[in-house]
Structure 1
Amino acid sequence: MTAIAVQAQRLLTHRRPKRSFFETFIRSLIILCAAIAIVLSSISVCDGHWLFAKGKLFGLWHFCAIGNNSALKCTTNLTLANITGINIGMILARSMVSFAVVVAIFGLELLMVSQVCEDISSRKKWSMGSALILFSFLLSSSGVLSFLILLRDYITFTGFTLTYWCEFIATCLFFLNGLSGLHLNNITFPWNRMGKN
């Protein structure tokens, strides 16, 4: 009798609520979009050229100016741009957007692990992953905002490069995926209720 009770308890402990197709699809979509955001942000940070205005190309890592022969002359000495605080400002901006990518990678890892290894702690892993993705949004948006404030006198809508728009889209995706992940976890069946049944 005792052995049967132990086996029944084990079955109840290991029993997991079945997810609907719609929930699985939404979670997979969030993971896919988070991965796309990481790729876009990585490309944007590595290229770093975000704004072309008044014959100058401003980036996270380089400053370029058009020479006499219409060729771009680039340098890592950002002080040559003659903008107050550009050196420290760009260090801050690129540090935040770079760190945002790293944090988002850890967040994506947690999201994927929570789906592959479904157990009692899956819900907690998903929440932590979503929170990290949302934190990536805060870092990324702070970096983009710092860049815009620093170069406010040079900003034109048509001056933004493709890599800047990649970062802008990645920032929006970080926000949407992080918020959606947390919200989805709150409205779906919580894993930690299993022990109460």
Structure 2
Amino acid sequence: MTAIGAQTQRLLAPRRPQKAFFETFIRSLIILCVAIAVVLSSISVCDGRWLLARRELFGLWHFCALGNGSAPRCVTDLRLARVEGLNVGMILIRSMVSSAVAVAIFGLELLMVSQVCDDASSRRKWSMGSVLILGSFLLSATGVLSFLILMRDHLTFTGFTLTYWCEFIAAFLFFLNGISGLHINSITHPRNGAGKI
């Protein structure tokens, strides 16, 4: 009799609703896009050469003078570039974009853990991960804009290198996926408990 009662209780216990395929697909897509943004931003920070202007290559870590037919002469002392505030400005910019990568990695980890460990706190982990991704956007975008302001006298549209555009795209992806992550969390887990896609 006890075994039948326990079996009946298990059958009558409310089951946790399974995630819809569309929701799982969207969340997986967000995680994939954040991972791509982390890779793009990491490449951009590690390479660091963002602007080519007047046969000079300006980067986060180096300044290079390009000669005719000779190897570029690169130095780490950015004061030799003769751009006002470049040495201090680049320290701040590379700190921001490097921090953006680190914060994004933590955010990505929280997003993945929230999907692998489907427990009571998974929604909160997803929200925290999305907020960290938005924090990465703020850091990355501030670094990109600060670089533009610092190098305003040397800017040409064709002078931006591929690694600069990697950082620009990464900042855009951080914003898009951070906002999307918060939005899908709000529409799939509304506060009043009603309405689920």
Task: Answer whether TM exceeds 0.5 for this pair.
Answer: yes
Tell me, yes or no, if the aligned pair for 2:55 and 2:67 is still in contact at 8 Å: no
In 2, the alpha carbon distance for the partners of 1:173 and 1:4 equals: 54
TM-score (norm 1): 0.89
In 2, the alpha carbon distance for the partners of 1:191 and 1:122 equals: 15
Question: Which letter does structure 2 place at the counterpart of 1:17?
Answer: P
- 166 and 9 in structure 1: CA distance in 2 versus 1, 3 angstrom threshold: farther
What do you get for the CA RMSD once the two structures are aligned?
A: 2.5
Q: 1:1-197 residue pairs with structure 2 within 5 A? A: 15-67=15-67, 69-189=69-189
Tell me, yes or no, if the aligned pair for 1:123 and 1:191 is still in contact at 8 Å: no
Uncovered stretches (5+) of structure 2, i.e. residues with no partner? none
TM-score (norm 2): 0.89
Greater than 4 Å deviation, 4+ residue runs: 1-14, 190-193
In 2, the alpha carbon distance for the partners of 1:131 and 1:120 equals: 19
In 2, the alpha carbon distance for the partners of 1:14 and 1:110 equals: 28
Tell me, yes or no, if the aligned pair for 1:120 and 1:192 is still in contact at 8 Å: no
- 14 and 116 in structure 1: CA distance in 2 versus 1, 3 angstrom threshold: farther
Question: Which letter does structure 2 place at the counterpart of 1:160?
Answer: F
Deviation at 1:17, TM superposition (A): 1.8
Tell me, yes or no, if the aligned pair for 1:103 and 1:132 is still in contact at 8 Å: yes
Aligned length: 193
Identity value in percent: 75
Question: Which letter does structure 1 place at the counterpart of 2:84?
Answer: T
Residue by residue over 1:78-102, the C-alpha shift from the partner in whole angstroms, topping out at 9 and shown as x without a partner, is: 0001111101100000000000000
Uncovered stretches (5+) of structure 1, i.e. residues with no partner? none
In 1, the alpha carbon distance for the partners of 2:84 and 2:78 equals: 10
Residue by residue over 1:9-53, the C-alpha shift from the partner in whole angstroms, topping out at 9 and shown as x without a partner, is: 888988422111100000000000000000000000000000001
